[in-house]
Amino acid sequence: MDRIVLAYSGGLATSIAIPWLAERYGAEIITVTMDLGQGKELLEEIRDRSLATGALRAHVVDVRDEFARSYIVRALKAGFLGGAEATAPAALSRPLVAQKLVTIAHIEQATAVAHGDADGNAALEMTVGSLDPALTVLAPAGEWGMTLSQQADYARERGVVAGASAGAFDDRYAGARSPIDVAGEPASVDVAFERGVPVAINGVVMPLLDLLASLEIIAGVHGVGRLAALHVAHQALQRATLDEAAAAFSNDVAEEYRRILRNGAWFAPMREALDAYVDKIHERITGTVRLTLVKGDCTVVDCKTSAASPAPFIALTKAH
């Protein structure tokens, strides 16, 4: 292993992984950090930290638009983004992280990639294997057997400075405040969809990243995550548009997506076939949903679809 590409968040584990991997394998270490909109200053700090800690090069890859369009929207349309069995954004990000690791490994002519999960990351490892079986996947935090105190000592001995982490997929996409720190007055927000994709907030059409940022502010103030709010609105519109059989089958489709994520098979033909089905049924899922937000609750109060509905929209939907 002459060269190893490390998924780098800037936290303690991935920071000490740089000298640990270099010493153990006698390899050059290249780091990759995902830009999800954490801010230029933080990302520059993390990049500088990587280089100061011993990395040969430090890549910062802007995945904001790709993650929103190809993963968040895909999960929203497939129905596994929210609800009681919501798939966490961190889990949804693993195929993307794996893909970028493999891409950078090819560019850098590396023979191995690494991540910082102490308990392993089976989905990420299997995804890397599906994209390039020749790459070795390393999990140094699962090998070194150091306690947190020992990791801190190791960092001090080697002059490693760990700081804020850039790996907060959940924090970036949750967007909800603590229940004790939310506005008490209810607020209404209209979310418009076109073919199942959110396109406007309160009648203002905007790019997807801007829409997510706006909803983060509006819903987060009332203790509601922006993804939870989108899920509730989308599910209401879908039920108002699809017939009973298609709606029931959509639950099975959501579970199949979850299985694919768990098994590291995101880039397999099966997911592409599911995508085709989901995109087909969403050709008619266009309309506007009004939500009421208050103290962590998100309730559907109105649902208007532009397609002829096969059944009346009766039940209200509520999320916490």
Cβ-in-10-Å burial (0-12, 13-18, 19+) of 127 comes to buried
The tokens for 263 are 């098994």
For residue 45, the domain's CATH number is: 3.40.50.620
Note whether 103 and 159 are same-domain residues: yes
Note whether 132 and 199 are same-domain residues: no
Look at the pTM and tell me if it is higher than 0.75: yes
The rounded mean pLDDT for the chain is 88
| Residues paired with 319 in a beta bridge | 298
- For the chain, how many structural domains are there in total? 2
Least reliable range by pLDDT among 126-140, 148-162, 174-188, 305-319: 305-319
Model confidence pLDDT, tens digit, residues 24-50? 999 999 999 999 888 889 999 999 999
Note whether 151 and 14 are same-domain residues: yes
The tokens for 311 are 């059944």
Note whether 161 and 15 are same-domain residues: yes
Domain boundary residue, one of 170, 201, 222: 170
Helices 244-262 and 226-241 cross at an angle (nearest 10°) of 140
Note whether 191 and 157 are same-domain residues: no
Q: Is 269 inside any structural domain?
A: no
Domain boundary residue, one of 133, 153, 170: 170
